[in-house]
Amino acid sequence: MIPLVVTNWLVNNGFGDVVSTKTVSGGCVNKCLVITTSSYRTLFLKTNSQCPKDMFEREAEGLEELRIGKGPRVPKTYLYEDDFILLEDVKPSAPQENYWEKFGVQLATLHNQVNPRFGFYHNNYIGSTAQINNWMDDGYRFFAEQRLLYQAELAYKKGLMTVDDLKKLEHLANCLPMLIPSQKASLIHGDLWSGNLIPDLFGNPTLIDPATHYGWAEAELAMTSLFGGFPESFYFSYEEVHPLEPGYHTRFRVYNLYQLLNHVNLFGVDYYHQVKEILHYFSERKI
């Protein structure tokens, strides 16, 4: 059902009356509709009556921060309240021939936007999990405390992680300066897997569902290797604009602990074996 405030807004802003709606896939969290109006225009509506009251506000804020010149396309936000967000309909289509090369350049351009500190203006959400974004000067402390340890403690409190694994992760977090090269705080999408990147009507790469913050660019790239991965042409194009320290692929295990721990907290023990494998990998190497 479309909220009354949305139908009134559509009429008052020249879109006209709602003619039809179509339910579309919206992941595991929200209900999603494509709305067609009497002006023959379409819009995208996400609703969730059970979500945190600021979740859609934070999504709108994150999308706006990602909107930079020569960066990836992001949909326009029209309206949001506690239980919905009304967005531009991207009209997903087939990707352009040079889709991945183009996105590599665009994402690198986004990552070249830097901040003196790590974090963001507010806490936000990665999926439905709260993402803590308190500003910090030290990227190692930021990733250790507000990414790895925060998620691990959530999992431990839910009974999804053992004391032994928690201790291993705490040790690994303390060793980050030995494993990760120094990096600036880059503007990143924060939840970049293939499901949050779609080609629009003209085949242009378009980012959706962000967990925006200023963090390590390599951590963003690491997530692109999960859940199917991105093609090599993407990484080649990316490095033409934003060169990386040698061996960045070897560091993906460390970065992806954050995303995998979040999946443990969201979906349960199905992802736990991947967390254990990474912790075992570093434990065996006496890190």
Is the per-residue pLDDT at 59 higher than 80?
A: yes
12 with 39: CB under 8 angstroms?
no
Query: What per-residue confidence (pLDDT) applies to 25?
Result: 81
Q: What is the pLDDT averaged over residues 36-64?
A: 97
Residue 155 placed within a domain: yes
Query: What per-residue confidence (pLDDT) applies to 27?
Result: 63
In the listed set 39, 56, 88, which residue is the last one of a domain according to the structure? 88
Active site residue 138: no
Question: Which residues lie across from 130 on neighbouring strands?
Answer: 125
Query: What per-residue confidence (pLDDT) applies to 269?
Result: 87
Residue 249 DSSP code: G
Residue 113 placed within a domain: yes
Q: What is the pLDDT averaged over residues 254-280?
A: 95
In the listed set 29, 64, 88, which residue is the last one of a domain according to the structure? 88
Question: 228 and 158, same structural domain?
Answer: yes
Residue 93 placed within a domain: no
pLDDT, averaged across the chain: 96
Percent of the chain with pLDDT over 70: 99
How far is it, in rounded angstroms, from Cα 152 to Cα 226?
A: 19
Q: What is the pLDDT averaged over residues 215-225?
A: 98
Percent of the chain with pLDDT over 90: 93
pLDDT digits (tens, 9 = 90+) for 96-143: 999 999 999 999 999 999 999 999 999 999 999 999 999 999 999 999
pLDDT range class, residue 285, cuts 50, 70, 90: confident
Query: What per-residue confidence (pLDDT) applies to 107?
Result: 99
Write the CA distances from 230 to 148, 225, 254, integer angstroms: 24, 6, 19
How far is it, in rounded angstroms, from Cα 120 to Cα 215?
A: 9
Chain Cα centroid distance, residue 188: 8
pLDDT range class, residue 286, cuts 50, 70, 90: confident
Q: Is 68 exposed, middle or buried (0-12, 13-18, 19+ CB in 10 A)?
A: middle
Terminal Cα distance for the chain, rounded: 54
- Using the CB atoms, write b or e for 239-261: b if 16+ within 10 Å: eebbebeeebeebbbbbbbbbbb
CATH number at residue 146: 3.90.1200.10
Residue 139 placed within a domain: yes
Question: 128 and 57, same structural domain?
Answer: no
Residue 152 placed within a domain: yes
Total domain count, the chain? 2
Which residue of the set 54, 82, 165, 191 is catalytic? 191
How far is it, in rounded angstroms, from Cα 163 to Cα 53?
A: 33
Is the per-residue pLDDT at 164 higher than 80?
A: yes
Question: 227 and 126, same structural domain?
Answer: yes
Question: 232 and 210, same structural domain?
Answer: yes
How far is it, in rounded angstroms, from Cα 51 to Cα 128?
A: 7
In the listed set 32, 61, 88, which residue is the last one of a domain according to the structure? 88
How far is it, in rounded angstroms, from Cα 133 to Cα 19?
A: 41
Chain Cα centroid distance, residue 31: 19
Query: What per-residue confidence (pLDDT) applies to 26?
Result: 64
> What is the largest distance, in Å, between two alpha-carbon atoms of the chain?
65
Query: What per-residue confidence (pLDDT) applies to 50?
Result: 92
CATH number at residue 10: 3.30.200.20
Query: What per-residue confidence (pLDDT) applies to 284?
Result: 85
Residue 104 placed within a domain: yes
How far is it, in rounded angstroms, from Cα 66 to Cα 239?
A: 20
Query: What per-residue confidence (pLDDT) applies to 72?
Result: 98
Query: What per-residue confidence (pLDDT) applies to 8?
Result: 98
Give me the domain span that covers residue 161.
99-284
Is the per-residue pLDDT at 170 higher than 90?
A: yes
Question: 172 and 33, same structural domain?
Answer: no
Query: What per-residue confidence (pLDDT) applies to 28?
Result: 65
pLDDT range class, residue 220, cuts 50, 70, 90: very high
Residue 94 placed within a domain: no
Is the per-residue pLDDT at 231 higher than 80?
A: yes
57 with 122: CB under 8 angstroms?
no
Question: 140 and 247, same structural domain?
Answer: yes
Question: 53 and 105, same structural domain?
Answer: no
Q: What is the pLDDT averaged over residues 212-237?
A: 96
